[in-house]
Amino acid sequence: MKPTLQTRLAVEFIGTGLLVTAVIGSGIMAERLSSGNIGLALLANSIATGAALVTLILTFGPISGAHFNPVVSFANALDRGMSWPETLAYIIVQCIGGIIGTALAHAMFGLNMMTFSHHVRSGFPLILSEFVATFGLVAVISGCSKSRPSVIPFAVAAYITSAYWFTASTSFANPAVTLARLFSDTFAGIRPLDVPAFLLAQFAGGLVATLFFRWLQPLEPKSGLSGPPVRLF
Amino acid sequence: MKPTLQTRLAVEFIGTGLLVTAVIGSGIMAERLSSGNIGLALLANSIATGAALVTLILTFGPISGAHFNPVVSFANALDRGMSWPETLAYIIVQCIGGIIGTALAHAMFGLNMMTFSHHVRSGFPLILSEFVATFGLVAVISGCSKSRPSVIPFAVAAYITSAYWFTASTSFANPAVTLARLFSDTFAGIRPLDVPAFLLAQFAGGLVATLFFRWLQPLEPKSGLSGPPVRLF
Amino acid sequence: MKPTLQTRLAVEFIGTGLLVTAVIGSGIMAERLSSGNIGLALLANSIATGAALVTLILTFGPISGAHFNPVVSFANALDRGMSWPETLAYIIVQCIGGIIGTALAHAMFGLNMMTFSHHVRSGFPLILSEFVATFGLVAVISGCSKSRPSVIPFAVAAYITSAYWFTASTSFANPAVTLARLFSDTFAGIRPLDVPAFLLAQFAGGLVATLFFRWLQPLEPKSGLSGPPVRLF
Amino acid sequence: MKPTLQTRLAVEFIGTGLLVTAVIGSGIMAERLSSGNIGLALLANSIATGAALVTLILTFGPISGAHFNPVVSFANALDRGMSWPETLAYIIVQCIGGIIGTALAHAMFGLNMMTFSHHVRSGFPLILSEFVATFGLVAVISGCSKSRPSVIPFAVAAYITSAYWFTASTSFANPAVTLARLFSDTFAGIRPLDVPAFLLAQFAGGLVATLFFRWLQPLEPKSGLSGPPVRLF
């Protein structure tokens, strides 16, 4: 009854792609229509991204778990026995899917399919922001998945809409999305030079959140060494 | 216990009508009040449309399935055994209801009941946008209807609010609504000349999504040849 | 176990009061802060009103049914056997509570507790808007209450947020709130002269919706003549 | 199975901290990007705060109850047998966590970790606003916790988003958050001189709400004198 790996990878590919399309596409539309009012553009961008997330997780979660995020797959491998080869496969298709998503957004708005971004995002405050943003994201998933997994799609969406505003980096919080935004010289883009520090901060935030929740809610001892992968969502 | 066809058609008629009233009415109000800031107008329009959708699907879904969209009825016929004559009847009342909805919105705002739109919406990016928008809509419905149908009203509403922003066409994604917007020379209108390509892209997007989900989640073999129509929502 | 009439009336009083406080208070705040951009003010006002509604219905619904609206109590009397004396008592405390709510909003914003509004709201389009708005509100409640009553708080809130935008009158849709807004010379006010037509349109809309749903979903024959009042929410 | 006091205090600490980070961080971001349009800034701030609240309560509620608010812990002690020493411990970590949250928000936005606010918030209308805001918050929790506790995270979040707009003080409604905002000379700050009256009004509002709901819904007699503390959320 469990979907095949091939099916799940297809869903992670298309889901991450559509997530990036939503992030970048809504950023382009918002910037174009907001007459230079960046606050208004970010409000539209944050609402559109949250709404896309809840939709995509509800739609694809039952098939692949709707990770759409290498940090989430990584946390899943650490905590729930998703095998490392499978985790790696998830991460690879997420990254490729995200880049295709950038191209799709650009095509829908009549831009070149792929361009390097010149949007500077550097400095300690932004790195700290990505650490906090990803810590929070993994905390939300960990906290809800034990007691009330059915609300995860809503909790994740609300979290990201909020974190767009309360972090200085507008909460990328996702390495695959970060890589994909590197190829977009638009509102949502990020200069290639600034990407590595973002990725590092994101994995660090996810790791600390995982360890923190392991302390908060010790896992029951597993019945065997190689339990089956568990759906995160 | 199942509502009669007459009742269901009445509900599809009034539901599609009110949906169009919400789309066009909120567009008029938003444009009038936004002092030329189109970003603000689209934000109000997208939130009002999403909120109307969740309401209408919750209200009328238990009676007719709350398709309110020829592509959705078409996908329902392909995948779930809704008969073709019934599908055709659904589509006809949706289209008529939508046009009445335009007239009602105009009447509430003191405009002529019906005027041809001059709002140009043409070019490859917009056609591609309609394909993507409708692909996504049918994907959301297909994905949720198997595992968690009770969230469909919320997922569809969030999807459309988001897709207003991440597609260049503001996601019509609905042939009946597209026809109805042809008769409105307002914010939400579309020039008659541009309608055929929109309709084609919408049906194509819906068809591809249906086939994609048939591959992702093969249907169980039907127990008989003429199973009863199934509620989509 | 059912709350006493006294308790339920107290809750209808305070709930309608807080609803009016939310409508008028958020209107004052929105107008003050929006630098003359009425679109932005209405966006804040519509979101704040919807959020207040879902909260108030969830909080007080289990005690009194959370009508907070004479048309809703009236529809409840017509369709569900709420006795007419009780209905009248509900309507009276709703109207008084609403007016106190106006005074409370004014006090919080340092205004005179009560002033007659000069906000003109007249003409056929606005009367039609109130008819449509209240038809829709009662339709939402009727449609959801039979199949999925637990979503009513969310459906009603989303409906009103949307209807603020898609009707030309910004959807008062509530006689008690209309009376209360008569005493507020602010963003949300209504000139006393314009109130009677609003009230008439609201009751007419509610009545037509009740009859329409009686046709759509015939009630089961009652087991006796004087069944107990049923909670609408 | 019940989490230890240490675990619960850690969660109250971090949860209140992140709540304050969200309130202050989103205020800074909103003010920076809104080109002087305070209405737009408050809209972003209120949406971000509501979205953070629902997320934090869903994530941490199952562990500590997700009070994050001394008035809520106080009401819990009055009504549900949470012991006074435990209540005091909750309140202390909430206050410290909140202040750390301020520092974290400032660090993410490149500001000094802690500065006294010069934001004047005084006068009877604002004190009344805090009384009303906190009365409402405790009413929402009391009303929902008896009949439908699973909606509390959504009801509280919607309430605060709304109350930002319908009270003149933008609804602090939380002594720990008020203390923390004292250290932030930004959009969300409050001048130290104005804090005591806010705190007093908040506790008074919470107390009146608790007594009002005790009258509305008399508690069942406890089976013993020292029943176990009950989760509020």
Confidence of residue C233 (pLDDT cuts 50, 70, 90): very low
Report the top-level CATH class of B5-216.
mainly alpha
Confidence of residue C147 (pLDDT cuts 50, 70, 90): confident
Q: Identify which of A222, A208, A230, A225 has the alpha carbon closest to the alpha carbon of residue A82.
A: A230
Average pLDDT, chain D: 93
Contact criterion met (CB < 8 Å) for B47 and A47: yes
Residue A84: the pLDDT is 95
Contact in structure between B102 and B28 (CB atoms under 8 Å):
no
Residue A226: the pLDDT is 35
> How many Å apart are CA B73 and CA B66, to the nearest integer?
10
- Name every chain D residue with its beta carbon within 8 A of the beta carbon of C34: 37, 39-40
Give the rounded percent of residues in chain B with a pLDDT score beyond 90.
Answer: 89
Residues B98-126: tens digit of each pLDDT: 999 999 999 999 999 999 999 999 999 99
Residue D183 DSSP symbol: T
Residue D228: the pLDDT is 37
- Name every chain D residue with its beta carbon within 8 A of the beta carbon of A166: 21-26, 29, 48, 52, 105, 108
- Name every chain B residue with its beta carbon within 8 A of the beta carbon of A45: 165
> What token pair was written down for B57?
């699907």
Rounded average pLDDT over D24-40: 96
Contact criterion met (CB < 8 Å) for A62 and B146: yes
Rounded average pLDDT over B167-194: 97
C43-54 in b/e burial notation, b at 16+ Cβ within 10 A?
Answer: bbbbbbbbbbbb
Rounded average pLDDT over B131-137: 98
Chain C with chain D: Cβ pairs closer than 8 A: 124
Torsion angle defined by CA atoms of residues C194, C200, C202 and C206, in that order, rounded to the nearest 10 degrees: 180
Contact in structure between C21 and D166 (CB atoms under 8 Å):
yes
Contact criterion met (CB < 8 Å) for B161 and A51: yes
Radius of gyration of chain C measured on its C-alpha atoms: 17
Contact in structure between C96 and C107 (CB atoms under 8 Å):
no
Q: Identify which of B74, B100, B71 has the alpha carbon closest to the alpha carbon of residue B87.
A: B74
Interface of B with C (CB under 8 A): 3, 7, 10-11, 18, 21-26, 29-30, 33-35, 37, 40-41, 43-45, 47-49, 51-52, 54-55, 58-63, 104-105, 107-110, 150, 153, 157
3-state secondary structure at position B42: helix
Q: Identify which of A188, A198, A9 has the alpha carbon closest to the alpha carbon of residue A96.
A: A9
Length of chain B (residues): 233
Contact criterion met (CB < 8 Å) for A165 and D26: yes
Q: Does pLDDT of C219 surpass 80?
A: no
pTM confidence score: 0.94
Kindly give, in sequence order, each residue whose CB lies less than 8 Å from that of residue C222, ignoring residues fewer than 6 positions away.
Answer: C81
Contact criterion met (CB < 8 Å) for A159 and D48: no
Domain ranges of chain D: 5-216
Residue-wise pLDDT tens for chain A (233 aa)? Answer: 689 999 999 999 999 999 999 999 999 999 999 989 999 999 999 999 999 999 999 999 999 999 999 999 999 999 877 999 999 999 999 999 999 999 999 999 999 999 999 999 999 999 999 999 999 999 999 999 988 999 999 999 999 999 999 999 999 999 999 999 999 999 999 999 999 999 999 999 999 999 999 999 876 544 333 333 444 44
ipTM above 0.90, yes or no: yes
- Name every chain C residue with its beta carbon within 8 A of the beta carbon of B104: 132
Contact criterion met (CB < 8 Å) for B154 and A54: yes
Rounded average pLDDT over D160-171: 98
> How many Å apart are CA D224 and CA D81, to the nearest integer?
11
Chain B with chain C: Cβ pairs closer than 8 A: 124
Average pLDDT, chain A: 93
Kindly give, in sequence order, each residue whose CB lies less than 8 Å from that of residue C173, ignoring residues fewer than 6 positions away.
Answer: C69, C71, C130, C133, C134, C136, C137, C160, C163, C202, C205
Q: Does pLDDT of C232 surpass 50?
A: no
